[in-house]
C-alpha cells in the first residue's frame, strides 16, 4: 500500500536530491531537503481537506487529480510562479529572469535581494491572513487552549483578522521597512513599496479565498440538485443516470480542488523565499513536497484516517504564522535559512507529538464510541 501510493514520490525524491547534489553541491542538497519537508508540513492541512473532497470522487477523477492536477501544482505553481514573482518584483521579463538565474547567478541574486522587501511584504501578508483566519475561528478541537480560546472569541468581531493584518502591515511599513536591507549591506527606505506590496498580498488572499468559497458553494448546490433528482427518480420508479450525474459532480469537485490546492500551494511558494532565492532549488524542493502531498491525499482517502492526528492542522497553521512574521522581519534583518526552515518543522513535530499523546489517552480511556477528552497544551 505504501509503495503503491508513494512510489512516484520516493523516486522523484531520490532523483531530485541527487540532481541537487550533482549540479550544486551539499548546500543545495540540504536546502532542497528542507524545502521538501517544509512544503509537506505547510500543506498537510491541504492534504486533509483534499482527502475529504476526493473521497467522493470515483477512481477515474482521482487519477485526473493525480495527473493533470499534479502538472498544474508542480510545474505551474512551483516552477513558473516563482519566476513570475521575480519577474514582477525585479521589473524584468520571465525569460530574462531565467537566463539570469542560469548564466549570471550573482546578478540574479542581487536583483532578488533588492526586490526582497516587496516579496516579503506580499508573501508575509498572504501567510498572515491564512494564520489569522485559522486562529480567530472557533473550533471544537483546540491545541493551545490558553491561546486559541481567547482568540476565537475575538474572531467573532466582523473582519477582525483583516484589521489585525492591516495594523501589522502599517507597523512594518513605518518601522522595519524604513531601513530595508539591500544588496551589499546597504539599507534604504522601502516603506511605500512594502505598504503597496502588503496590500496586494492581502487583496490576493481575499480574491483566492473568494474563488475557493465560490466553487465550494457551487459544489454544495450541485450536490443538493443531485440528491433531489435521485429522490424524484426513486418516486417515479426510474433509475437516474449515474454516469452523467457523477460526471457533473466530479467536474465541480475537480475545479474546487484545483482552486483550493492553488491557494494552499501559494503559501509554500512564498514561504520558500524565506529560505532561498534559487528558483531551481525552490522548484525541486517544492515539487518533491507537492508530490508527497498528492500521495498523502490518496493515502488518507484509502486508509480513512483523516482524524488520526488531530493537531497537525494546528501545527501547520502556526508554522505559516511563524513564516509570515519571519518574512516581515527579514525586510530589515537577514535571518539564517536553517532557522526559518526548522521553525516550521519544529512546530509540526510538536503538533504531531501532541496528537500521538492524545491518541494514547483516548486508547487508555477504553470508550471509543464516546466523546473523548481533548488534552490541550
The pLDDT value given to residue 41: 66
- Contact (Cβ atoms closer than 8 angstroms) between residue 180 and residue 117: yes
pLDDT at 245: 38
**What digits encode the pLDDT tens for the residues 279-320?**
788 888 888 888 888 788 777 777 655 567 778 778 878 888
Encode pLDDT of 102-134 as tens digits.
777 677 767 777 777 887 888 889 888 888 988
The string of pLDDT tens digits covering residues 16-68 is 899 999 998 888 898 888 888 877 766 666 676 677 677 767 777 777 877 77
The Cα 241–Cα 212 span in angstroms is 28
CA dist 53 and 51 (Å) reads 5
* Selected residue with higher pLDDT from 85 and 195: 195
Question: Could you state, in order of their start, the residue ranges of all structural domains in the chain?
Answer: 2-365
Kindly indicate the confidence band of residue 171, based on its pLDDT and cuts at 50, 70 and 90.
very high
Lowest mean pLDDT among 130-139, 298-307, 342-351: 298-307
What mean pLDDT do residues 136-157 have?
85
- Residue 163: the pLDDT is 92
Q: Which is higher by pLDDT, 183 or 8?
A: 8
As a whole number of Å, the end-to-end CA separation of the chain is: 34
Percentage of the chain surpassing pLDDT 90? 6
CB of 285 within 8 A of CB of 35? yes
**Residue range 178-214, pLDDT digits in tens:** 878 666 667 777 888 899 989 998 998 888 777 766 7
pLDDT above 70 as % of the chain: 76
**DSSP for 296-310?**
HHHHHHHHT-TTSST
Question: What CA–CA distance (Å, rounded) separates 217 from 128?
Answer: 25
Q: Is the pTM of this model over 0.75?
A: no
- pLDDT band at 165; cut points 50, 70, 90: very high
Burial class (CB in 10 A: 0-12, 13-18, 19+), 341: buried
Q: Which of 295-299, 324-328, 338-342 has the lowest mean pLDDT?
A: 338-342
Our measurement of the distance from residue 287's CA atom to the centroid of its chain's CA atoms, rounded to an integer in Å, reads: 13
**pLDDT higher than threshold 50 for residue 353:** yes
Q: Between 200 and 267, whose confidence is greater? A: 200
Is a pLDDT exceeding 80 seen at residue 142? yes
pLDDT at 239: 57
Span of 38-52, 234-248, 265-279 with lowest mean pLDDT? 234-248
**Whether residue 169 has pLDDT greater than 90:** yes
User: Is the separation of the CB atoms in 311 and 354 below 8 Å?
Assistant: yes
> H or E stretch including 39?
helix 26-42
Looking at residue 371, its pLDDT comes to 42
Q: Is 278 helix (H, G, I), strand (E, B) or coil?
A: coil
The reported pLDDT for the residue numbered 166 is 94
pLDDT of residue 370: 41
pLDDT number for residue 373: 42
Q: What is the mean pLDDT of residues 70-82?
A: 74
As a whole number, the mean pLDDT across the chain is: 77
Least confident interval from 22-26, 57-61, 172-176, 271-275 = 271-275
What is the model's pLDDT at position 101?
Answer: 73
Write the DSSP assignment of 271-298 as a string of letters.
Answer: HHTTT---HHHHHHHHHHHHHHHHHHHH
Higher pLDDT, 202 or 221: 202
> Where is pLDDT greater, at 92 or 252?
92
Amino acid at each position: 500500500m505504501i509503495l503503491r501510493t508513494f512510489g512516484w514520490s520516493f523516486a522523484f525524491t531520490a532523483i531530485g536530491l541527487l540532481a541537487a547534489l550533482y549540479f550544486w553541491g551539499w548546500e543545495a542538497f540540504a536546502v532542497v531537503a528542507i524545502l521538501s519537508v517544509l512544503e509537506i508540513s505547510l500543506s498537510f492541512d491541504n492534504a486533509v481537506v483534499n482527502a475529504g473532497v476526493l473521497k467522493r470522487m470515483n477512481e477515474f477523477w482521482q487519477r485526473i487529480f493525480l495527473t493533470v492536477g499534479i502538472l498544474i501544482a508542480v510545474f505551474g505553481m512551483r516552477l513558473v510562479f516563482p519566476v513570475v514573482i521575480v519577474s514582477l518584483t525585479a521589473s524584468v521579463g520571465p525569460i530574462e529572469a531565467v537566463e539570469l538565474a542560469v548564466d549570471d547567478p550573482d546578478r540574479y541574486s542581487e536583483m532578488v535581494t533588492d526586490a526582497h522587501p516587496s516579496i516579503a511584504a506580499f508573501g508575509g501578508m498572504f501567510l498572515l491572513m491564512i494564520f489569522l483566519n485559522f486562529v480567530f475561528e472557533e473550533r471544537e478541537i483546540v491545541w493551545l487552549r490558553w491561546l486559541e480560546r481567547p482568540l476565537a472569541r475575538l474572531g467573532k468581531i466582523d473582519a477582525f483578522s483583516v484589521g489585525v493584518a492591516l495594523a501589522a502591515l502599517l507597523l512594518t511599513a513605518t518601522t522595519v521597512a524604513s531601513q530595508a536591507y539591500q544588496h551589499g549591506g546597504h539599507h534604504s527606505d522601502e516603506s511605500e513599496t512594502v505598504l503597496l506590496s502588503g496590500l496586494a498580498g492581502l487583496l490576493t488572499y481575499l480574491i483566492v479565498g473568494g474563488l475557493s468559497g465560490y466553487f465550494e458553494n457551487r459544489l454544495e448546490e450541485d450536490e443538493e440538485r443531485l440528491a433531489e433528482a435521485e429522490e424524484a427518480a426513486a418516486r417515479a420508479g426510474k433509475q437516474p443516470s449515474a454516469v452523467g450525474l457523477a460526471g457533473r459532480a466530479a467536474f465541480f469537485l475537480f475545479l474546487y480542488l484545483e482552486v483550493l490546492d492553488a491557494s494552499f500551494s501559494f503559501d509554500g511558494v512564498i514561504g520558500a523565499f524565506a529560505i532561498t532565492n534559487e528558483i531551481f532549488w525552490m522548484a525541486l524542493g517544492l515539487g518533491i513536497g507537492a508530490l508527497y502531498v498528492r500521495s498523502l491525499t490518496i493515502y488518507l482517502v484509502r486508509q480513512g484516517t483523516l482524524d488520526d492526528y488531530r493537531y497537525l492542522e494546528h501545527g501547520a497553521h502556526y508554522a505559516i504564522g511563524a513564516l509570515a512574521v519571519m518574512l516581515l522581519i527579514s525586510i530589515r534583518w537577514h535571518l539564517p535559512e536553517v532557522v526559518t526552515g526548522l521553525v516550521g518543522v519544529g512546530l509540526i513535530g510538536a503538533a504531531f507529538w501532541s496528537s500521538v499523546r492524545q491518541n494514547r489517552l483516548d486508547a487508555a480511556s477504553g470508550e471509543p464510541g464516546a466523546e473523548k477528552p481533548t488534552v490541550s497544551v
